[in-house]
Amino acid sequence: MATREGWAAIVTAAVLGCSTAASSSGTDDSLSVGSSTTGTLKDTTGTDAAPTTTVDSSASATTALTGEVSTGDAPTSVGPSGCGADVAPGPTIVQTTGGALEGQQLAGVVAFRGIRYAEPPTGDLRLRPPQPRMCAPGLTPAMELGPRCPQVEKDAQGQVVATLGDEDCLTLNVWTPATGPGNRPVLVFIHGGGNATGGSDDPLYDGAALAGGRDVVVVTLNYRLGALGFLTADALAAESPEQVSGNYGLLDQMLALQWVRDNIAGFGADPYTVMLFGESAGAVNTCSLIGSPRAKGLFDRAIVQSGSCNERTLTKYEADIAGPWLQASGCAEAPDVAGCLRGLAIADILTLQPDGYPDVAALGQGWGPHVDGAVIPKPALEAMSEGTHNMMPLMFGANAHETAKAVPPLTVAQYEALVQATFGPLAAMVLAQYPAADYGDDGQAAYVALSSDLKFICGARRAARAAEVSQISPVFRYHFAYDGYDAPPNTAKAAFHGLELVYIFANWGAVLPEPAEYEPNADDLAISQRLQGAWTRFAAAGDPAGADLPWPAYVAADDNGALLDEPPDLFNGVRTEQCDFWDMYAPG
């Protein structure tokens, strides 16, 4: 790392999104809300195959082998013959391209859970682009959440304590105030978890409160994780007409969005007012979809929450994780590599190293999108800078203390040693930019500031600048700084990674583990209403501003945006000197 190039490589790795490599903190961000027994709000994110035949005629225009997704020129008609067309629609029954679905009437909304949008990616369909769901006759119940995609759960020491999920996991969920004709905007959420953990079954992501409280339709979804969602290999690429592999999890998300385009009108929504929002790894994926020509026309606005807009090259990606994992699998030298990979037991796939388990404070990367020349022709940041991305109203933001829950207590000496070990001969420059004295001689606070800037806050500025100069549609930026929640005495409070999701989804029962209950205070309720209003206004009209929240469009020269706090404010520049420093060495 003695060269500028070596330095740039380290900082570039750090700004590319939700890290999954081990860090010196020895912690991870994989715990969902409610996983701790203390009385504080917890880290909320867990940082978040195609056969050789064409798809069923009831599916939307998708080429299974290449992963091509139609561009949403027109939704596919629903309810073809033999696909539940004989089932009469009703308040809890909706016709879809995959058949008639029966949801559950709740207080204020109808919930449709566990909707299959793809064929099970098992057997010969493992490690291939997703195959659209074939239609099912009769009436299919949609009342239970689908299982998570396969993943591991680890304890605080990093030891695997359980394997979770099911390979047959490609489902989505819809919450709507009412079925039938309607013009409600649609909010589609992609969960985080380092592209290795998480799922739409997390109680935090239940869409009932948001949908019912704001008269919108909310969609959450599962997508393949880890090696099953993002493994690259020459043998897998050889099966593709475009000679590419990996990015299967991203293709899953595109297929789910196509399902929304084709079917959401029956759920009381406007299929051409679809907002995509993702947090952490879900934000990384959202930005990849903004940059991907394959996703053109599948959504109309997007919010990138605490995630980056840059993907690794295939060479770098395979050096980081895919190559070492393939060697560890024992399949690299097999006569039939693809067949060997499809024959591996799920438990073996999940526990092979590197497993890419997420750590929000780490500076390396694990599983995720990569530049393959087809699904992702170029890094999203580059596409936005050139104006070749999917132009639409966009929003980028980060939280003030992203890594606060992932960095352990550090003395000044420990902090300086950590920086020295991480940045080598350039550590002096980093320490000059982040002297412990500026943070009350608290090594933990200094490293939280350093890692939050490097991985999240400065990346939001970089992406907003790139998009603003290349598109006519407005760009917005936010900085979430709220820490007004109630916590036990002597417990530090911070705007940590994923905290904003508590207020967007307003699922207070998901904050603490049962039987404990978190009672939101007045400021909690106020900022929840403020964020819900901003997110739904942006979904409906591409502008988050409202009477309760002034929010001008972003201007790169001013670096302006909304300071999301209680009360809110506006800003011109956030961590400007620090972000200028990182941009000097990692310009994107």
Residue 586's pLDDT band, with cuts at 50, 70 and 90, is low
Chain center to CA of 485: 24
Of the CA atoms within 13 Å of residue 13, those in its CB half-sphere come to 23
pLDDT of 23-64, one tens digit each? 333 333 332 333 333 333 434 333 333 333 333 333 333 333
Average pLDDT, the chain: 88
pLDDT of 216-258, one tens digit each? 999 999 999 999 999 999 999 999 999 999 999 999 999 999 9
Report the share of the chain in percent with pLDDT over 70: 86
Q: Which residue has the higher pLDDT, 575 or 52?
A: 575
Residue 156's pLDDT band, with cuts at 50, 70 and 90, is confident
Whether the per-residue pLDDT at 17 is higher than 90: the answer is no
Q: What integer pLDDT is reported at residue 63 of this predicted model? A: 39
Angle at 255 between CA 43 and CA 117, to 5 degrees: 85
- 521, 484 Cβ separation under 8 angstroms: yes
Q: What integer pLDDT is reported at residue 80 of this predicted model? A: 56
Which of 74-78, 193-197, 261-265, 554-558 has the least mean pLDDT?
74-78
Please state the rounded mean pLDDT for residues 269-285.
98
Q: Give CA–CA dist 18/311, Å, rounded.
A: 12
pLDDT of 319-372, one tens digit each? 999 999 999 999 999 999 999 999 999 999 999 999 999 999 988 889 999 999
Q: Give CA–CA dist 101/89, Å, rounded.
A: 9
Cα dihedral angle (354, 402, 438, 482), rounded to 10 degrees? Answer: -170
DSSP codes of every residue in 460-501: HHHHHHHHHTT-SS-EEEEEE----S---TT------TTHHH
Give catalytic residues, as residue numbers: 280, 402, 497
Q: Which residue has the higher pLDDT, 469 or 62?
A: 469
DSSP codes of every residue in 225-245: -HHHHH---HHHHTTSTT---
Which of 340-374 are b and which e, b meaning 16 or more Cβ less than 10 Å from the residue's Cβ? bbbebeeeebbebebbbbbbbbbbbbbbbbbbbeb
Angle at 375 between CA 372 and CA 377, to 5 degrees: 60
pTM of the shown model? 0.89
pLDDT of 62-115, one tens digit each? 333 344 444 455 666 565 566 888 999 999 999 999 999 999 999 999 999 999
Of the CA atoms within 13 Å of residue 267, those in its CB half-sphere come to 35
Please state the rounded mean pLDDT for residues 499-503.
98
DSSP structure class, residue 454: I
Tokens read off for 546: 């409202």
pLDDT of 424-456, one tens digit each? 888 999 999 999 999 999 999 999 999 999 999
Three-state DSSP class for residue 104: strand
Q: What integer pLDDT is reported at residue 514 of this predicted model? A: 87
Domains annotated on the chain, with CATH: 4-50+66-585 (3.40.50.1820)
Whether the per-residue pLDDT at 19 is higher than 80: the answer is no
